[in-house]
Structure 1
């Protein structure tokens, strides 16, 4: 799939920034860590019903996992599949540690604002996501648990969480095959557990291309029996939507 990737759109998102787009089903969203050590905090919503959004507990529970990687699906709170992870060069996507707020960033890296520092200000992930979802009429109560792509946070036998520095290398790619029309919202602000001494500004390249049709031996379809049920929910959703538009 990756070798036939022909981008329809490519954009470079600087560090400490935010971005969003409604991506139609049947497309692949490719995300590339340009310099290494990036973090991409991501949320998903149904653009036709913004009350439907990414559900972290259901995603992890139904696939019996703590982390996500190639073969996993990203579920909505309606049991449908927003996207499938068809490529993950990093082997581990953080699912549980969320984003930093203004106080956490200020305590760790100092408090700077855009008015004085311009593009070198120290934005925090929570406010960045809040600014981006506001473009769609959403607010604080709509910020659900997010994914942190390119980041690994593991646990030990006592349940303590451990951040892996520089988990993602320069050139690492994650590809999400979009399974239903999806509003994708993300920020390139640093992970809340990043121990870097200086505030890290890490860019991510974003590309969108047509996806190849899913085959019966698809890794995401077959990685868990529950995923087949999720794709069946998608099929019924699209069947009803198609009827209502004709």
Structure 2
């Protein structure tokens, strides 16, 4: 896929300039002693911490978090699509499940995470459970709302041509639902990073969330920020991956 660098700079040039100014100002403020480095380390100190801990971060903790995110995201997508499509097809199922799905998002993760630890122990599945609880809601809602948004005029046209409910679902409702569904995926994949981090903070032996908690206890602020930087970068990369997938799928569907 060819990149139009001129358009890219028009879209993101000001953002990059703002980031450069922010990092420069941050470095200057910390170096002149206005903020103690144990509260807010300088960007250069964070970068040095990344270099010093790169083997530990990149070979042990980042892969552990990525594994939790990928498994949690995959299960969230599968469960969310099945629930969203099921509620679309069966009105009774919608009346039963939709309130429970909304209620699940009102439960504080900090409060329910210890329950998952009691159920699954300190294994990867306690972190995946937190990740799923965080990430499946956007998939369910975007799938359900997307399927309901199919154009009524097109539906009536297909009915007059003898189409059955499956034909309408496949030929009309799925393509019409794709923009909403893919938007839900972009939110969900970012929430997966948040959920995995929370799960690691509350009970884990590896992962970026665990690393940042351990470094926080040791008052190593630069290492904490290094882990936060990698978590943010992971979320951005996954978001961009879904965004590229969205562009390719929508281009294919609406050609």
Same fold per superposition (TM over 0.5)? no
**Structure whose CA Rg is larger:** 2
TM-score range normalised by the length of the shorter chain: under 0.3
Structure number with the bigger relative contact order (C-alpha 8 A, sep ≥ 6) is 1
TM-score (norm 2): 0.22
Please identify which structure carries the higher strand content.
1
1 or 2, which has the higher helix percentage? Answer: 2
